[in-house]
Amino acid sequence: MTSNVNLGLTNVGPETHPLTWRYTKSGKAVLDIKEYEALEGYAALKKAVAMPQADVQAEVKAANLRGRGGAGFPTGIKWSLIPMGPDAGQKYLVCNADEMEPGTFKDRMLMEELPHQLVEAMILAAYAIGATKGYIFLRGEYILAGQRLTAAIDQAKAAGYIGDNLLGTDFSFELHVHLGAGRYICGEETALINCLEGRRANPRTKPPFPQQAGAWGKPTIVNNVETLMNIPAILLRGPDWFKGLSQGKSPDAGTKMYGISGRAKITGLWELPIGTTGRELLYTHGGGMADGYELMCWLPGGASTDFLMPEHLDLAMDYDTIMKAGSRMGTALIMVVDDKQNIISAVRNLEQFFARESCGWCTPCRDGLPWTVKILESIEAGEGQEGDISTLQQLTRFLGPGKTFCAHAPGAMEPLQSALKFFPAEFTKGIKAKA
């Protein structure tokens, strides 16, 4: 994995790269707790547990940290919805580490190289919300991350960061790594909770939201890996510093893990100020397209985002700007599609993934996605029939937001609807002329 990680940056430090500076500085994974402590490790935790919980929450809220799993929901607001006080009872903190979005590999790198940073962030966040139990719900295939996180948790326990009355406070916390069994839908936070409980990984009805009734019916916060790993630095350096990290490129705060896959010269991951443009990412850091290939279009943040065109490269990659352009920033790991690629095949491939990963709960997703795939296969083979395109268009509407039980099918429709918009001729080409 590390070979894919290409941070490629100089002048890296805690002031500018809160997520990855320790890795860059060390030149390798920071696995030993002593080494992590020597790099400001657990300093934020120590600072936080000396503060009232409400103040810790206020810092995170003030920092305008937005969820890095893809939806961009403000973390501070999410936290503020969880009941606090002596009557709140058992609460849980869950880290969503079920990273399975096609083309996305940021959480893997962060967990494999900097497991302690996630552990510290979990303890700190748990303290802030008063959760005495934490779970890292880890994608089953992330075996190395699992080993390293488990080792880090053991070290943290031995060092007194995890356990009863940790660091001399009256706060107690236990932390577990739970391996998923490889379903994309487990990245949906309520399906994740069901799965954690040992139930089928179907998303849950909302409301009630996990903050009211989550894991085992108790108030629960689910945060993404990258989101959590920003928090120690926010506590150490303050919300104003964090907001300044975007260097005016975006109203959003902090840095973001950006990445490239596809036929670029250099693929990999970079921690950059949030709001960095696609052009800077692809041409400055990725070295541009591979020789002999032109950029046809790109997915800004995983398979469940709408295609953007080359003219969108100058947009700031932040949540609201990409949204306005008709897509979503998603995980911000872009997938570049070159001019030699058949777009129908690409979309069919993505839809096959989504059809397979549907949990089977609601009708549009369960039965609409396989139909989508079959029509695309037909068009790909030049066997499309009249009406297929309008059927696809209707599917993109009726599998869209608000009509399905969760966001899985709407996500699946994003690449399709944008492909239909940008490349109508490619679809028409696959329709067999009437005999």
The site for other proteins (CB under 8 A) is made up of 183, 200, 204-205, 207-208, 212-213, 216-217, 355-364, 366-371, 374, 378, 385, 387, 391, 394, 398, 402-405
For other proteins, the closer of residues 18 and 384 by Cβ is: 384
Smallest separation (angstroms) from other proteins to the CB of 321: 25
For other proteins, the closer of residues 21 and 405 by Cβ is: 405
Smallest separation (angstroms) from other proteins to the CB of 64: 29
For other proteins, the closer of residues 27 and 402 by Cβ is: 402
For other proteins, the closer of residues 52 and 360 by Cβ is: 360
For other proteins, the closer of residues 150 and 385 by Cβ is: 385
Cβ(268)–Cβ(5) under 8 Å? yes
For other proteins, the closer of residues 165 and 394 by Cβ is: 394
Residue 218 to residue 22: CA distance in whole angstroms: 35
For other proteins, the closer of residues 160 and 398 by Cβ is: 398
Smallest separation (angstroms) from other proteins to the CB of 346: 21
